[in-house]
Structure 1
Amino acid sequence: MFFSWVPLTFFHSLAIVNHQYFMVNINLSIQHRCKALEILRSFPNPVSANILAGELGISRVALWKMVRKLRELAYPIHTGREGYQLAADQDPDLLCPWELGAFGLRTEWFPETSSTMEEAKNRFSRRSQSLQRKEPTAPAQEPFYTVAETQTAGRGRFHRSWESLRGGIYLTVTLFRRVPLAIVGRYPLLAGVVWVETLQELFPTFSKGPTPHPITLKWPNDILMGNRKIGGILLDMEVEGDTATRIDLGIGFNVRNHPKDPKAAALIDLIGPSLPPRRMILQAYLHRLERALVDPYLKSAIPRWKRFSSTLGKPVRILFPASRAAGLSTLTGTAVDIGPGGELVVRSSDGSLKVVSYGDCHHRR
């Protein structure tokens, strides 16, 4: 028997080609589903199979297979002699990649998972080195997104649980870039700012009318509507020396879910049935977020955050979870400023300024 010698580089090249072919097929599948749903949502009447397949550039057999997959995901697509029709009043409003436009090509979606943050870590654990930028001022890598319809072990700061019922937005934004640790705290602040700006754009009457619901930011990571929490941001990262090489922003936002906590709120409670689909809200958010992330130093994050702050100028009490077990005292004073890295500056009763990098901030009355 004769064995010919084949260099290892051949197998490496073959693996790359196979991976690229696989990714092209995945992207085409996403684009076909996206366009098919767009067409079906645009017409109240059935769309013939010939027209739909022609618009997508695929065969009728491929169209039938695609529709079958969409039905398995709970899309109410009905088939009749006249063609395919989507029941608008039963639209599942999912956050699948094909529902997120161009962002979907960088999105991994789970109907249910323990935590999008953990899924993001698993997703990129072997790719981190190849995706990292050497210089913070280099053109920023586009973010990657990990999305779930519901989480069974969602978490907030200090490993607290985050209620993740179906109908909310549960998202991890992953960035591969080298950022000095001294300023990485700007990232969760900016993520909160972009939520406020997005909601103000989508719902301009929030802060007006007889019963206004101002949207504000509470240090360090809460998004408030009135006095009720509607969302939060969690920061995680990989570090080399004094530099973050990968940044994960875990985001939980209440949209159509109904949180059990009386101190929490959801958009559906405030807007009612006219609330647009979650996919539209998330696309609007990601569009603003990607524009804001072009500058890796996020020089505008602090002044923008101050515009929406509900913390600055208020009496506050800072609790340090790790210190309470040791019987250490808390910090009380007045929040007067935000430091260059996102720290809270508190003026204590003796007039001295304390810089707080982490902790639970409670507004005192």
Structure 2
Amino acid sequence: MTEPLNWSITTEQSATSTSDLAKQAAADGAPSGHAFLAIEQTAGRGRHGRHWDSQKGGMYLSVLLRPSLPITQWFALSFAASLAVLEAVRAQLATHLSPTEMPQTGLKWPNDVIVAGGKISGILLEVEGKVLIVGSGINIAPVGQMESQNIAPIALADIWPDGAGDLPQPYDLATAYLDRLAFWYDRFCQSGFGPIRDAWLENALFLGQRVAVQCDTKAISGVFHDLGMDGTMLLLDDSGQKGHITTGDVKLLGS
């Protein structure tokens, strides 16, 4: 059954982490759809507790959700959020660039958003009891190195065309992202991971190509074959055996 979302956004100029604000709001009984936006984070974090460079001028947002579907399916919203970011960023670029000028955009497993070869956004899911916190960041102003060590960061400022006017404001980008997230959340509530998976695969980078996945201290290589219904990367090794990768940093091997 669909759970309609009524977004409400609390904006802070600076916060340690918007995820911390969302967690506190969840503990206080805030409803599903409450979002926290910060222009700067002093202790932003990414996957595996890594530091997320959250300098002033970016869009740093955490959304509080209370999904009714089983918690084992919540992973799907990481893929939904990365799709929503990708669509919001593409829409911003499309208003200022012709189709031939548009940079390559896509999704790198599990949830990095890539523009012109650089990482412009990542997603972090955190579970607090029956509440899911979906954290996302979009680089607007130039930033330093982010959590992923095998791909350089990029910001909208780095690819914004000359004469195109001011960069998008964090609040405007947040509302565009939330609009797309509401769409994918509705699909999730109606149909589970299937539609999200299909759309994610249509935008997947490195699909059908040879990659290396750094899993803790071990690197695994093979061909990125598919995305499992549980969100795992399906990798074919040199002998044709299929492996299921649950976590790791992906790097494209020699072209």
Q: Same fold (TM over 0.5)?
A: yes
Answer yes or no: is 1:259 the counterpart of 2:143. yes
Q: Alignment length, in residue pairs?
A: 237
Structure ranking higher in helix proportion: 1
Secondary structure at 1:362 match in 2: strand
Letter in 2 for 1:304: A
Letter in 2 for 1:175: L
CA distance in 1, matches of 2:97, 2:107: 15
Question: Among 76, 92, 95, which residue is 1:186 paired with?
Answer: 76
Structure 2 match to 1:227: 117
CA distance in 1, matches of 2:247, 2:79: 13
CA distance in 1, matches of 2:53, 2:204: 24
* Residue 341 of structure 1, CA deviation: 2.0
Q: Does structure 2 retain, via aligned residues, the 8 Å contact 1:292–1:298?
A: no
Question: Measured at CA, do residues 207 and 189 of structure 1 come closer, stay the same or move farther in structure 2, by a change above 3 Å?
Answer: farther
Answer yes or no: is 1:318 the counterpart of 2:220. no
Q: Does structure 1 retain, via aligned residues, the 8 Å contact 2:234–2:243?
A: yes
Structure 2 match to 1:115: 17
CA distance in 2, matches of 1:190, 1:311: 19
Per-residue Cα deviation, 1:23-53 (whole angstroms, up to 9, x for no partner): xxxxxxxxxxxxxxxxxxxxxxxxxxxxxxx
Secondary structure at 2:66 match in 1: strand
Correspondence list, 1:149-298, <5 A: 149-204=39-94, 208-209=99-100, 212-239=102-129, 245-255=130-140, 257-261=141-145, 263-272=152-161, 273-274=164-165, 275-295=167-187, 296=189, 297-298=192-193
Per-residue Cα deviation, 1:207-263 (whole angstroms, up to 9, x for no partner): 832x54111100012100121111110111135xxxxx32111101101x2112381
State the Cα RMSD in Å.
2.1
Structure 2 match to 1:22: none
Q: Larger radius of gyration, structure 1 or 2?
A: 1
Structure ranking higher in strand proportion: 2
Question: Measured at CA, do residues 195 and 155 of structure 1 come closer, stay the same or move farther in structure 2, by a change above 3 Å?
Answer: same
Secondary structure at 1:166 match in 2: coil
TM-score norm. by structure 1 comes to: 0.61
Question: Among 305, 312, 317, which residue is 2:200 paired with?
Answer: 305
CA distance in 1, matches of 2:84, 2:99: 20
Q: Which segments of 5 or more consecutive residues in structure 1 lack a partner in the other structure?
A: 1-101, 132-141, 240-244
CA distance in 2, matches of 1:278, 1:263: 22
Secondary structure at 2:125 match in 1: strand
CA distance in 2, matches of 1:199, 1:108: 22
Letter in 2 for 1:348: D
Secondary structure at 2:56 match in 1: coil
Question: Among 29, 35, 43, which residue is 1:145 paired with?
Answer: 35
Answer yes or no: is 1:331 the counterpart of 2:220. yes
Per-residue Cα deviation, 1:37-94 (whole angstroms, up to 9, x for no partner): xxxxxxxxxxxxxxxxxxxxxxxxxxxxxxxxxxxxxxxxxxxxxxxxxxxxxxxxxx
Secondary structure at 1:123 match in 2: helix
Question: Measured at CA, do residues 338 and 234 of structure 1 come closer, stay the same or move farther in structure 2, by a change above 3 Å?
Answer: same
CA distance in 2, matches of 1:281, 1:181: 29
Secondary structure at 1:179 match in 2: coil
Q: Does structure 1 retain, via aligned residues, the 8 Å contact 2:193–2:229?
A: no
Q: Which segments of 5 or more consecutive residues in structure 2 lack a partner in the other structure?
A: 1-5, 146-150
Letter in 2 for 1:337: D
Question: Among 119, 127, 132, which residue is 2:29 paired with?
Answer: 127
* Residue 107 of structure 1, CA deviation: 2.1
Q: Does structure 2 retain, via aligned residues, the 8 Å contact 1:153–1:161?
A: yes
Secondary structure at 1:203 match in 2: helix
Structure 2 match to 1:6: none
Question: Among 224, 231, 234, which residue is 1:342 paired with?
Answer: 231
Question: Measured at CA, do residues 212 and 201 of structure 1 come closer, stay the same or move farther in structure 2, by a change above 3 Å?
Answer: closer
TM-score norm. by structure 2 comes to: 0.85
Letter in 2 for 1:186: A
Higher normalized contact order (CA 8 Å, seq sep 6+, divided by chain length): 2
Secondary structure at 1:117 match in 2: helix
* Residue 206 of structure 1, CA deviation: 5.4
CA distance in 1, matches of 2:14, 2:171: 17
Question: Measured at CA, do residues 298 and 253 of structure 1 come closer, stay the same or move farther in structure 2, by a change above 3 Å?
Answer: same
Secondary structure at 1:284 match in 2: helix
CA distance in 2, matches of 1:278, 1:117: 17
* Residue 301 of structure 1, CA deviation: 0.6
